[in-house]
Every structure is written in structure tokens, then in C-alpha cells.
Structure 1
Amino acid sequence: MTDLDLLATFLEIYRGGSLTSAAARRGLTQPAVSGQLARLERDLGEPLFVRSSRGVTPTGRADELARRIGPHVDQLRSALSDTDDQGAYAGAVHLAGPSELVAARVLPALVPLTTRGLRLRVTLGLADDLLAALANARLDLVVSAVRPTDRSLVATPFVDEEFVLVAPPALARTVDAGLLAADPVKALAHLPLVAYAEELPIIRRYWRGEFGRRPPNHVAVTVPDLRAVLAAVVAGAGVTALPRYLADPALTAGSVELLHQPAVRPLNTLYLATRAGGLANPSVALVHRTLLARSKEWAGL
């Protein structure tokens, strides 16, 4: 059986991106951390990180392992810690994330903490801007759609969101099913797009991931709120790619239809990001722990 200390050290390396920072947070020497990592990799029979002069980059196996064990190790640490929960509830946390997810999932999960005294201050925005504010100590915790590259930040895999390609029924009926199977880019090229931003971040990701190229379609509407994107699609403005948790009510109601059924669900991992050492704050640790626990009930997004 793998030692819990090895898994705790692995998580510190994974979240901090370096053996040096992991050693500092674990209170160990760097050779001791290197030895524990080597032992874990030997137990698993495969490498977990690619070493470079800038630190370490996790392998796919490391991503999977962190996703599986992270919440459990955090809960064990919390159970064994001397943290005063009442002190945690008496604090304040400056939380940030994308407006749609914060409204639909994050705030409802955290409201029970506020009824016990925790104070939340919430900022909404784009991942890059919020991660920069986190690194500059203007935020405590960020729900991020991208993994931070700043080595001063620690990222914990949070939940996977699934993307779906949707259209109003009238536009869906204009797509030739045979051509869609043979050449989906050509089959969909006549459809106007409704986008979240000029760079088409979600739509471009879907087209490249599923069809191997950027969309050639013209953009009819650009609006920086995914709920407004969905409203425009329902009204007939065009087609778009959305997280399933936002699209599902409209799909159930029949106001939009799926345009494409991928063989493998297109997923994007969301992260909970803090500054290195940020979870030493009991209130931040409480919010972090609560969100990880609640995300297990969501079965993805």
C-alpha cells in the first residue's frame, strides 16, 4: 500500500510545480522530497513528472492521480489538523471565477457557510485576469478554466465541464446529416455563430478538438456572458458551444438541439487556484474543502 506521506508530497509537487516549493510546504529537505517522489514513481511503475530547469510538468498519469486522491488527502489533513472550525467560519474569503459557474454552482454550494458566519466577497471575470489578481494577493481563491502557469500559484483539479454544440431547431434542420458525418466543417459552415468573445474561445476549442480546424463560419453575435449566448441561440441568432450544465435545461425544453454527437465527450478541467501557502488560512481552506466535496455530487458539468 502506498504511504500517505508519499501521496501528500506528490500533491504538493503537483500543485506547486516544483520540488523546492513542495519541500518548503512539507517541512522536508529537497533530497527527501526527491526520494519520496522516486519511491512513489517506483511503486506506480511510471513517471509522474517531466523535469526541466523551470520545475516539473505533470504527466497524464499525474493529472489522473491528483484528481482521484486530492480531495481525500485534503479531507484527511483537515481531520487531523488543529484548525478551529469556528475561527474558519469567522473569517472572510475573496473568491473569484467565471460568472456563469459561480452563479449556477459555486455560490449555492457556499451559502451554507455564510449562514454560519463566513463572509464571502465575490469577483467575476476571465481566468487570466483573475489569476493575475490572485498572484498579486488581491484574491484568495480562484475557480479557473485554465491551469495557472505562475509558479507562485497552486492549482487543484476541481471538476470537468463538458462542452456541447447546440442550435435552435430551425437551424438544426438545415444541416445535412450525411455531409455532417463525412465533412462536419463543410456541413456546418453556413451556420452563423454566437460567441462569448471575439477570439471564439469555446467554439474554437470545440472545432479544433472535434473537427481538426478553426470554424470558417461568420459570427452573428458576440456577448461576454454564456447565459446571454444561450438566450441568443434560443432566439434563433445562430449556433454555439456551451458547457452542458448551462445547455441542459434548454435541451430538455426542446428550445435548442444537439448538432453533433462526439465519440468522446469534449471536457475541460476546472481548477481551484490559491497562492502557495494560501490554504494555511483556515477560512480559505474551508471554502476550498467545501467546493471539492460538493463537486463530487455534480458528476461533472
Structure 2
Amino acid sequence: MSNGEPPRGDPVPRPATGTPHQLDLNLLRTFLAVYRSGSFTGAGRLLGLSQPTVTTQMRTLERQTGRVLFERLPRGVAPTAVADELAVRVAPGLDMLAGAAGPDAVPGPPAEPVHLAGPAEFLCTLALPALAPLVTDGVRLRVATGLTDALLDELRAGRHDLLIATTRPRGRTVSAVPLMDEEFVLVAAPSWAERLRAPLAAEGPSVLHSVPLVTYAEDLPIARRYWRHVFGRRLSCAAAVTVPDLRGVRAAVAAGAGFTVLPRYLCADELASGALVPLHEPEDPPINTAYLVQRPGAPDNPDVIRVRDHLLHAARG
């Protein structure tokens, strides 16, 4: 092929399987370079290797792991889910080894900031605390908040490097991998919970129609989903309060304003302390998957990959 990549559909020999600590470090180093550059030729330039050498090493690694690591594209390669998992596991150790350059190493100019976008609540509650060690290590961040659809358009236009999306992006113009599942919980302050839990269990969700509903938006996106999944019916309540930040919704409900549906991660402390009480605890609560989305093309800034790998690693914890 004209770009020096091997043909698509190359067969992968049957393995002997291996774990990262059993595999050749040179193969893993080459794998990480391919993963981060998005092509075999780009990895060769980074490592000073010929493209055939990189291809041979990746075939060897795929044979040893028994898994396809990259899908061959007309231009470059795309990592499989197996490659995503392997990168999360090996990148921290390989980066640490690469950084052990000795006391005489002269630091270069700082890398450009990484532009990260997503829901304000998720970023402030989970993502930014998880990224604090990278910031102390010199990574710079520029964070934008908003709704997924608008942020996706901005990502495709080049305004963001990474996006935490609440829905899976359609099409193949961006790379998206599952980041974490968020569980939704129906909650109220203890004063409301004492009055509502027993009637709700006995009579169903109609008992909530007279209770103020506090929600994220006028169209009740999270509450409607909960009603459809848990109660099997359409939510017919109107919002008493709308706050375009779930942290504000949480604060209002904890103060006794009414009831709401929140991601469990956002109200875990309040549930533990008793400031909020679950009104209903279904065996099959509604779940939403958040995705980590990367804009098209291989990033010029290596810190983009550091942030991406760190978020994936933190989410698995």
C-alpha cells in the first residue's frame, strides 16, 4: 500500500498467550508507539526503525498475545479494544522507564495544553481529581464544559483533544472507547423519604406527582429515562425547579426542595451520610455508559495520550 502499512486482513497466528510482564519490552515499546502515533510508519519515525521492522514486531506481539491489536486502515491503523486495554496496562510503566533519563537531562519546552471537554459534574467530581498527579508532573489542561452534541461538533472542528461523552458518537470520524458506567438513583431528603417510600412501594410512581421535581432541564432527560426503565411508563410530571448543573440539583434536593434522579457517583457522599435517601432501589437500575472520545488523527502533543491513558486507567479502578 502507498502509505507503507501492511494489507488489511492479515491473519494472526495462533498464540502462545502472554501477559505484559512476560512480553518483550521492545515489542511493548513499539506497540505503544504505534498506538500513540496511529500508524506503523509514524511509530518507525518515532523509534528510528524501518516500517517493515515495526510490522514484524507487531505481528510477533499479536502472535504472542493471540489477539488482533490493530485494524489496518487505508491510512494508518486503528487500535482494537484489546489494544486499548493493553495500552492502559503498559503505558505507565513504559513512560516511567522512558523518563529515567538521569540528572543531566535537559528539559525541553513545555508541551501544549491538553484541551479536555465534557459534562461539568463529571469533570469536576471525577476527572479532574484523577488527573491531579499528571498536573503536578507538568501536564497542562484547558477544560471546557457543556452538552455532548455541541462538544462533539467542537471536537471535530479541532477545539478539543479529548471529550467525555454521555452518548456514543455515531460514525467513524472520531475514536470512542467506553470509559465508565454511571448508575442512576431516585433520591430525596430524609423528610420527604419518610413520607414517600412506603406509598411509592405500594402504589407506584403516581404518588410522586404531587411532589416537586428538581431536574437538569425542562425535558427531564434523566428522570424520563429512569421512569421508562424502572417503572415501564412515561413520566408525566412537570419540573418544579430546573438547574443546568446536577450539583445544583443535588444541593436543592438535599435541602428539601423535592425529589430527583442523580448519577450515583455524584451523590455517593450524601447517600452515605444520610443527607439524601433512595426512594426506590430496583434490582436493575438504569445505567448509562460514558465514552472517552479523541479527535481524528494522531495527536501532536504526547500529553494528550498521557491524559487519555490516565483517565482510562483511573476509570477501571
Deviations 1:55-98 (A, max 9, x none): xxxxxxxxxx94x87332454478779x9768797332111111
Normalising by structure 2, report the TM-score.
0.69
1:71 aligns with 2:122: no
Matching residue's letter, 2:192: L
Structure 2 unaligned runs (5+)? Answer: 1-14, 18-61, 100-106
SS at match of 2:230: helix
Check conservation: 1:89, 1:113, Cα contact below 8 A. no
Aligned with 1:258 (options 248, 255, 278): 278
1:161 aligns with 2:164: no
Deviation at 1:252, TM superposition (A): 1.9
Check conservation: 2:91, 2:309, Cα contact below 8 A. no
Check conservation: 1:8, 1:73, Cα contact below 8 A. no
1:99 aligns with 2:120: yes
Check conservation: 1:140, 1:275, Cα contact below 8 A. yes
Check conservation: 2:162, 2:294, Cα contact below 8 A. yes
What is aligned with 1:240? 260
Q: Measure, in 2, the Cα distance between the counterparts of 1:248 and 1:114.
A: 26
Matching residue's letter, 2:248: A
Q: Measure, in 2, the Cα distance between the counterparts of 1:130 and 1:101.
A: 14
Q: Measure, in 2, the Cα distance between the counterparts of 1:26 and 1:88.
A: 30
Task: Go from structure 1 to structure 2 and tell me whether the alpha carbon gap of 1:77 and 1:291 turns closer, same or farther (over 3 Å shift).
Answer: closer
Worse-matched range after superposition: 99-108 or 181-190: 181-190
What is aligned with 1:57? none
Paired-residue identity, % = 45
Aligned with 1:131 (options 139, 148, 152): 152
Deviations 1:245-284 (A, max 9, x none): 1112112222221001111232111110012334564221
What is aligned with 2:245? 225
Counterparts of 1:41-80 in structure 2, within 5 Å, are 66=81, 70-76=84-90
What is aligned with 2:49? none
Deviation at 1:5, TM superposition (A): 7.2
Check conservation: 1:88, 1:286, Cα contact below 8 A. no
Which one has the largest radius of gyration?
Answer: 2
Matching residue's letter, 2:256: G
Structure 1 unaligned runs (5+)? Answer: 13-19, 28-32, 34-64
1:7 aligns with 2:27: no
Normalising by structure 1, report the TM-score.
0.73
Matching residue's letter, 2:193: A
Q: Measure, in 2, the Cα distance between the counterparts of 1:79 and 1:279.
A: 21
Q: Measure, in 2, the Cα distance between the counterparts of 1:191 and 1:294.
A: 38
Check conservation: 1:96, 1:143, Cα contact below 8 A. yes
Deviation at 1:187, TM superposition (A): 3.2
SS at match of 1:155: strand
1:112 aligns with 2:133: yes
Matching residue's letter, 1:25: G
Matching residue's letter, 1:217: C
Q: Measure, in 1, the Cα distance between the counterparts of 2:298 and 2:146.
A: 21
Alignment: residue pair count: 248
